[in-house]
Structure 1
Amino acid sequence: MEKLIKGIVDKVLAGGAPTPEEALRLSEAEGSAVFDLFRGASKIKEQFVGNEVHLCSIINAKSGRCSEDCAFCAQSAHHKTDAPVYGLVEEERMLESARAAEESGSACFGIITSGTTVRGKELDSILAALRKIRKETSILPSCSLGIIDEETALKLKEAGMDTYHHNLETAESFFPNICTTHPYEDDVNTVRAVKKAGVKVCSGGIFGLGESPAQRIEMAFKLKELDVDSVPINFLNPIEGTKLEGASHITAQECLKTIALYRFILPGKRITVCGGREKNLRDLQSWIFFAGANGTMIGNYLTTLGRNINVDLKMFSDLGLTTVMCAH
């Protein structure tokens, strides 16, 4: 395994890429070979993206009542959870949250809404908020508003949106186990439409849903094909009342190995570890950077609390990592 890892690392550093078969073999690393895998991912990260850490923060701008039936989601109307339910927050609330994110050190601020898409007055309000954030802060705003077309992406871009976030969630072959209310191709087409509009795309998924290692790799190669700009990696935090409330499908080591595999397959992309890191990685949260990540979300998530921001900032300092600052 050590020889295999070294050979693939050398290939990637020289501009090549692992095949899906090679990536699957890497996923089988055990014992001391796991550290070889992390070491290789670190080398690849340093060459292609450096050692800076990109921080992002979000606001849950519209919560609950989603018509989609995603098995993991606390905001789905198909589930009975304690997740908050409210309509789109006011523009000033979005601006205030953006300012707070900027002060905490985030370089990117995401406006996230529940539901299949956003239209009409809600879209107009988000466009107005984007203009204010661009005018009154230095943080780069992003949006995650569900399935959209190129025309909507262009409107968001003109208002100041820097990046559009839309997860594929999992591999196409596993998607029917997770969501049945829209086809996988709708998500793929959203990524393509946003790219066509000339907007950067942040797209990844959730691990620990019950997918196989091969399916984790399948999604990585789909993201590579779509040429997304950044990849958010989430780990399932089972929520009571959802279809996956009792799930326990991934270990801390598998989380780290998944990050490393994604760095091998997507060497030049920003890989950001987001939801579920506190629950799934526990004392190993700092290892995400040794495994190849170069970003993380700070603050709270959509319906669950994140770790104290000051604790995360101290972790970056202890690791000798420099964070990317806000800049238009």
Structure 2
Amino acid sequence: MELFNAGLDWYSLADKAIHGSKLSQKEGIAILEADDGELLPIMQAAFRVRHHFYGKKVKLNMIMNAKSGLCPEDCGYCSQSIVSTAPVSKYSMLDKESLLAGAREAISRKAGTYCIVASGKGPTDRELDQVIEAVQEITSTLPLKICACLGILKEDQARRLAEAGVHRYNHNLNTSKSNYPSITTTHTYDQRIETVKIAQSHGMSPCSGVIIGMGETNEEIVDMAYALRELDADSIPVNFLNPIPGTPLEGAKRVSPIRALKVLALFRFICPSKEIRVAGGRELNLRSLQPLSLYAANSIFVGDYLTTEGQEVTADHQMIEDLGFEIEICALSAV
């Protein structure tokens, strides 16, 4: 690969990242375009950064699909959107007992963060009340961090969630600003940026990530990483498109395992101190190379995703153990 042969050294990029220097776009693209024979040196360099900030600890997260389908948005990747014909469950916001049961399941899976996710453009007052009631009981009885993902937020909604004990708010950018109109038209990229900032301004840890495999260029992938660095997102879920039949992107080509690993390394280099999570599509796209992902990432989801199945939880626990890594136990104490 020309840039590598010209003297680009992955270990130098790792040192640059550790010391807080921003990689250039040329350097970022070089990671994505590197010869596949450079994969292991790239992953070793990414691990150098990951180990500096996180050692060998792995954070576990669990998703609860708290409201499914019934969404007026036209996101091309989503089986719950109004333009999808995929056969998914459709139900309104789960009651408090169901959300509490999910929290207890998260504990049994050794997850430190419980993610309450709802379809829709944004929460109604009634839906917000239901989530808040559940969050207050969960945080008073269980050692879990709570992440909410309820769509576009208003200032008062963000304030109420933070006061109820929500630790983190997720609102993914999903793709680059330039690619956004080809993926979604019912809301804008800037609205997503604004929601992340609103959540952050009310004291919730900002969580925002991407979906790789939606027609974006290498330059756009680097731009996504830059945007999340600029937002100062604490947690960055890196999803790989699962092209679900019945969605507009059903015919998209899967991301290859090697490309997926290069993307994870890129995000580690550009956002070195942040929680990089291998998220949706991990099992489908990384396949047998899943263990290598944790040399760049330090976090995974355990169990199923919103409408697709994940890997068996015991297999994830075994993968972490086999790597010589350690599950990070939530430091919160139940009240």
Q: TM-score range by the shorter chain?
A: over 0.9
How far residue 175 of structure 1 moved from its aligned partner, in angstroms, is 0.5
Alignment counterpart, residue 213 of structure 2, candidates 205, 208, 211: 208
Say yes or no: does 1:298 pair with 2:264: no
Alignment counterpart, residue 235 of structure 1, candidates 240, 243, 264: 240
Say yes or no: does 1:317 pair with 2:318: no
Say yes or no: does 1:134 pair with 2:139: yes
What TM-score results when the alignment is normalised by the length of structure 1? 0.97
Give the aligned partner of residue 98 of structure 2: 93
RMSD: 1.1
What CA distance in whole angstroms lies between the structure 1 residues aligned with 2:260 and 2:49? 18
Percent identical pairs in the alignment equals 39
How far residue 121 of structure 1 moved from its aligned partner, in angstroms, is 1.1
Give the aligned partner of residue 12 of structure 1: 17
- Look up the SS of the partner of 1:112 in the other structure: strand
Gaps of 5+ in 1: none
What CA distance in whole angstroms lies between the structure 2 residues aligned with 1:287 and 1:149? 39
Gaps of 5+ in 2: none
Q: How do 1:80-229 residues align onto structure 2 when only pairs under 5 Å count?
A: 80-229=85-234
What CA distance in whole angstroms lies between the structure 1 residues aligned with 2:108 and 2:254? 36
- The Cα offsets for residues 195-247 of structure 1, whole Å up to 9 and x where unpaired, read as 11111011001101111111111110000001010100111111111001111
Say yes or no: does 1:57 pair with 2:62: yes
Give the aligned partner of residue 266 of structure 2: 261
- Which residue type is aligned with residue 324 of structure 2? G
Does the CA-based 8 Å contact 1:49-1:269 persist in structure 2?
no
Q: Higher mean Cα deviation, 242-251 or 259-268?
A: 242-251
Does the CA-based 8 Å contact 1:149-1:194 persist in structure 2?
no
CA spacing shift, 1:31–1:169, aligned 2, 3 Å: closer
How far residue 249 of structure 1 moved from its aligned partner, in angstroms, is 4.8
How far residue 252 of structure 1 moved from its aligned partner, in angstroms, is 1.0
Say yes or no: does 1:272 pair with 2:272: no
Give the aligned partner of residue 244 of structure 1: 249
What CA distance in whole angstroms lies between the structure 2 residues aligned with 1:236 and 1:154? 32
How far residue 32 of structure 1 moved from its aligned partner, in angstroms, is 2.5
Does the CA-based 8 Å contact 1:237-1:276 persist in structure 2?
yes
Give the aligned partner of residue 23 of structure 1: 28
Q: How do 1:65-80 residues align onto structure 2 when only pairs under 5 Å count?
A: 65-80=70-85
What CA distance in whole angstroms lies between the structure 1 residues aligned with 2:109 and 2:146? 15
What TM-score results when the alignment is normalised by the length of structure 2? 0.95
Does the CA-based 8 Å contact 2:122-2:152 persist in structure 1?
yes
